[in-house]
Amino acid sequence: MIVIAADPHKSTHTAAAVDPLTGELRGSETVSATAAGHGRLLDWGRSLDSQRVWAIEDCRHVSGSLERFLVAGGERVVRVAPKLMAGARRSLRQRGKSDQIDALAVARAAIREGLDSLPAAQLDERALEVKLLLDHREDLVGQRSDDQRRLRWHLHDLWPELSIPAGALDRECWLQKLARRLSRAPRSARVRVSRELVRSIRQRTRRERELEREIVALVSQQAPSLLEIPGCGALSAAKLLAEAAGFDRFASDAQFARLAGVAPIPASSGRTDRHRLDRGGNRQLNCALHRIAVTQGRVDADARAFLAKKAAEGKGRMEALRCLKRHLARRVWKAMRAPQKATAGRAPDTLVLT
């Protein structure tokens, strides 16, 4: 068996084949970052050994097309976090930096960490669809927030006495009211800019709500069991689906919890037995679980009892929430591994925590 590691870039991909037992370089290849280049790279890898594992540096959009091509071709692909490269590169005998050196560092980092312990890539077109829509919606919300901040400063300069409540610029009634007031004002440059900002905010708000309805429909079809978890709304469920990219690739809830950064890290020494917070992992997954935990702390009796129990043990609010997030990771993993059923006519499951 060989490990074929890829160092992806926007225009080219460089791969290095390494023997996992000896660490010997078996060959390297550089191809263009196109469909033809991907096919050439796959043919090269198949010519080297019938048993192979592809280790790709996880660079999001840069590595995504190559990863999907290989998985669709039936290849086994694992993702290697970029932060693992530094130590692997320093341990190489060859000095300097090049694409081949980086690919070799990817391979040796994957072998050092263990191929079975690295997250496996999986082709999940439905999760990808949810992710693309969710990312687009979040971009629209961010752009709208920028427009709203600029509009508030322009309005303050025009009418300092005007008081606009927080969140008012998300509502159509307030935007209509401001549009009417601006239409009656003298046509100065500030007024014209403000009117353009109002139109932009209204357009982005309408599109954001259309995307939200589309995302809700997709999540209701793909993961109704997530919506049954108390405190898990459609957008949080969509974030879990999008960032996990296929729950079948996690052999246990512990692996999913580690990816989400909610599994505590052992930090014991001698007679001291303790764990510390994991600040790594996928922070988007961590954020989604945090939102669910905070919501459960308000609306779910079992979660409130769990948080109270942890508080009685001497844990602070954030420590108790971190414990709850670890339980939620197990709940989410089990819900997504179970067969999905329609939610109509079913009562939400109760959350049982120990």
Q: Residue 121 in contact with residue 73, Cβ under 8 Å? A: no
Q: What's the whole-model pTM score?
A: 0.77
In angstroms, the CA 173 to CA 185 distance is: 19
Contact by Cβ (8 Å): 244, 285: yes
| Domain residue ranges of the chain, discontinuous segments joined by + | 2-113, 125-222, 224-337
Query: pLDDT digit string (tens) for 62-96?
Result: 888 998 899 889 999 988 888 777 655 555 555 66
Kindly report, residue by residue over 28-66, the tens digit of the pLDDT. 999 999 999 999 999 999 999 989 999 998 887 888 899
Radius of gyration of the chain (CA): 25
Which pLDDT value is given to residue 87?
59
Structural tokens at position 59: 């660079």
Averaged pLDDT, 298-316? 93
Does the structure show a pLDDT above 80 at 351? Answer: no
Closest CA to 32 of 58, 64, 66: 66
CATH no. for 2-113 = 3.30.420.10
**How does residue 215 score in pLDDT terms, banded at 50, 70 and 90?**
very high
Whether residue 167 contacts residue 158, with contact meaning beta carbons closer than 8 Å, is answered with no
Could you tell me what percentage of the chain is helix, strand and coil, using 3-state DSSP and rounding each to the nearest 5? 60, 10, 30
Q: What is the pLDDT of residues 175-199, one digit of tens each?
A: 999 999 999 999 999 999 999 999 9
